[in-house]
Amino acid sequence: MDALASWTRALRADIIRMIAAAGSGHPGGSLSVIDILAVLYAKHLRHDPKNPERPERDRLILSKGHACPALYAVLAHRGFFPMERLATLRQLGSPLQGHPERHRLPGVEASTGSLGQGLSMGLGMALAAKLDGSSRRVYVVTGDGEMQEGQIWEALLAAPKFRLDNLTLIVDANNGQIDGHVSEIMPLDPLPDKLRSFQWDTRCVDGHDLEALDQALAAIQTVRDRPQAIVAKTTKGKGVSFMEDQIAWHGKAPNKDEVEKALKEILGG
Amino acid sequence: MGEATREAFGQALVALADRFPELVVLDSDLSKSTMTAEFAKRHPARHFDLGIAESNMIGAAAGLALSGKIPVATSFACFLVGRLETIRVAVTLNRANVKLVGTHAGLGIGDDGASQMGLEDLAAMRALPGMTILQPGDGLETRQAVEWMLGHQGPVYLRLTRQKLDDAHRPDYQFACGKADVVWLPEPLPKNFQATVFASGGTVGGAIAAAKGLLPKGFAVRVVNVGTIAPFDVDAVEDCAKDSARLVTVEDHNIVGGLGSAVCEAAAMLGLAKPVVALGVREMGESGTPAELYERHGLSAPHIMAACIKNLA
C-alpha cells in the first residue's frame, strides 16, 4: 500500500501539471477520483497496455468524463502512451481531448463527457461479456452530481433485470457540482438506500482510503447474480488544501504560484 | 397493397439471424410494433427488452457494439430521435456499430396523432457525422437494406413505415447504399422531362401514381427513389437536372432538413439552374388515416402532380 500511496501522489502531481499546462480543465473532480482509479488499475482491472484492444480485458468507463486528467495520468503511468503526451492535454490535435475519446487514445473504452451515459454503455458491455461467456468485468465510474441525470436511473433499473454480476458502478461522491454542493443543488441522499432499493449490491467506502477501496473492490468479485455499487465518499480537490471542497476549483486551472503550492503539498519537501 | 417496411424488416432479422451470429436486438417495449417480436421469440438470448427507456437502450446498444456485437435498437422514429444526445455521444462520437431502427415514421402512423409522429428525425440524423441513413421504399428494398446494414461497419439509422406500401421495385432490384434509383419512367422515353420527382419511403407510391396520372395529360415525369438519405446521392440530382425542367421532392417528414433540403443543397452546390419544388410537412401532425393526412399535408398524388406542373412564376 505504501507503493500505491506513493503512486497516487505522483498521479496527483501530474494532474496539477497537466491542467496548469493546458490552462483549463477540472482539477476538483480529477483529484477526488484519482485514488479510485489508482486502486482499480493497480490491483483489479485486467488490462494490457501493450495490447489495449485485447478482447478479454476488463473495461473501465469514466462516465464523469471531465475528470479525464486523472484517467490520462493513470494510463500514461501504466504505459498506454508516453508520459510526455500528458503535457498536450486539450491542445489542438492532441489525443488527450478535453473529455475522453476512445478513437483518439488507447486505453479509453468509451467516449464520455455528456453526463449520464456511461452506465448504459457499461450495461451493454456487461451484456456482451455474458453473451460471450466471458469472465471480463465492467467498471463504470460516475460522479454523484452526474446521478441527477435520468438515464442513469434507467440503467440502474435495467442491470439487475439481466443479473449482471459483472457490472460495477463506482460513485465518486465528492458532493460537488458546478453550481454548488450536490446536497444543495439537487440532493441525492440517501444514495446507498436508493441503490439498494434498485437491487444493487451496495457498499460505502472512504474513497481516499486505499486499503478500504481495495477491500471493497475485492469483495464485489464474489457477488453473484447482482450488479454492485460502491459509493465512495470523496473530497473534491483532495490533496491540495486550498482546493478541497472548494466549488470554485471544479473547473479552473491553477496559476504558477498555485501550482507550486499544490505540488509542495502533494509531494512534500 | 404490398407490405409495411417494418414488416419486411422484422422478417429480414429472422432470416439473417444465422448469417450474423453477432446480431442482437434491443427493444423499448414496442417489439410488437417495430416487428422484432418474432426475432425475440426465436432468439431469446439475443434479444433484450430495456423497457420504456430509450436513452438507456441506445447507450446499451453502444456498449454492445464496442464489445463486438451488432446491436439493432428499435423504437418509433420519434422516440429514438428524442434521445439525440445519447445518439450523438454514445453512438456517433464512439463510432459505435449501432443500427437504430425508427419505425412508424412521419404522418404515416396515422390516427395516433402528432406526439407519435417522427417528423424531425431525418434532419437530426443528417447532422450526425458518419451516420448512414436509409429509408427504403418497399419490402424488397427493405430486406436488402437490412442485409447491407448488418454487414456495414458503422452507425446506421433505418427509417421505416407503419403503413403498407406498394411494391416500387422489380424483383431483380439490387440495393446499393448511397445510390438513388429510378422507379418510374414514362414510355416512350422522352428526350426531356417536365419534372423528376425525388421520393423516399412512404411517398414513393404517391410519386409513381402522380407520374402515371400526368402521362395522359402530356407531361413526362421521372420518379427517383432515394433509399439512402445519407450519404446523399448528389450525382442523381445532377443527372436528373440535365433533362428535367424542374426537380420535385416529396417526403413524409418536416420540410426542413430532410430529402427536400438534401436535394436543394446538392442543386445549390452544383450550381444547377433548376427550380426545386419541395413537398413536406410544415406543421405538427394530427390524427387521421395516412391517406387523409397525406392529402391534408400536401404529400398525396394530386399534390405531387400539381407540384410538377404548376406555374413557377
- Domain map (residue ranges) of chain B: 3-165, 181-309
Which uninterrupted H or E stretch holds A22?
helix A2-22
Fold for the domain defined by A2-267: Rossmann fold (3.40.50)
Average pLDDT value for residue range B252-258: 98
Query: B17-43: per-residue pLDDT in tens?
Result: 999 999 999 999 999 999 999 999 999
Residue B1 has pLDDT above 80, yes or no: no
pLDDT at B232 over 90: yes
- Would the pLDDT of B5 be above 80? yes
Other Cβ atoms closer than 10 A to A24: 12
For residue A44, the 8-state DSSP code is: I
Residues of chain B with C-beta less than 8 angstroms from the C-beta of A54: none
Q: Do B55 and A120 touch (CB under 8 A)?
A: yes
Q: Strand, helix or coil at B244? A: strand
CB atoms B89 and A127 under 8 Å:
no
Active-site annotation holds for B54:
yes
CB contact under 8 A, B67 and A129: yes
- When pLDDT is averaged across residues A130-138 and rounded to a whole number, the result is 98
Quick: pLDDT tens for A31-40.
Answer: 999 999 999 9
pLDDT in tens, A74-114: 999 999 999 999 999 999 999 999 999 999 999 999 999 99
pTM summary value: 0.97
> Do the domains B181-309 and B3-165 match in fold?
yes
Mean pLDDT in residue range A162-177: 98
Q: What separation, in Å, do the N-terminal and C-terminal C-alpha atoms of chain A show?
A: 21
Taking an 8 Å cut-off on Cβ atoms, the answer to whether A101 and B45 are in contact is no
Q: Give A49-105 as a DSSP string.
A: TTSTT-TTS-EEEESSGGGHHHHHHHHHHHTSS-GGGGGGTT-TT-SS-SS--TTTS
Give the residue among A55, A171, A179, A28 at the shortest CA–CA distance from A109: A55
Mean pLDDT over residues A134-158, rounded? 98
pLDDT in tens, B104-130: 999 999 999 999 999 999 999 999 999
A30 min Cα distance to partner chain B (Å): 21
Q: Do B63 and A121 touch (CB under 8 A)?
A: yes
From the list B3, B7, B54, B251, the catalytic residue is B54
Q: Quote the pLDDT of residue B20.
A: 98
Cβ-Cβ contacts under 8 Å, B93 against chain A: 101, 111
Domain B3-165 in CATH 3.40.50.970? The answer is: yes
List the CATH code of the domain at B181-309.
Answer: 3.40.50.920
- Residues of B in CB contact (< 8 Å) with A are 24, 45-46, 48, 50-51, 53, 55-69, 71, 85-86, 88-90, 93-95
Chain B residues closer than 8 Å to A119 by CB: 59
Q: How far is A263 from chain B (nearest CA, A)?
A: 35
Q: What is the DSSP letter of A244?
A: T
CB B151 within 8 A of CB B72: no
pLDDT digits (tens, 9 = 90+) for B37-88: 999 999 999 999 999 999 999 999 999 999 999 999 999 999 999 999 999 9
**In the predicted model, is pLDDT for residue A269 greater than 80?**
no
Per-domain boundaries in chain A: 2-267
Per-residue confidence band for A1, with pLDDT thresholds at 50, 70 and 90? confident
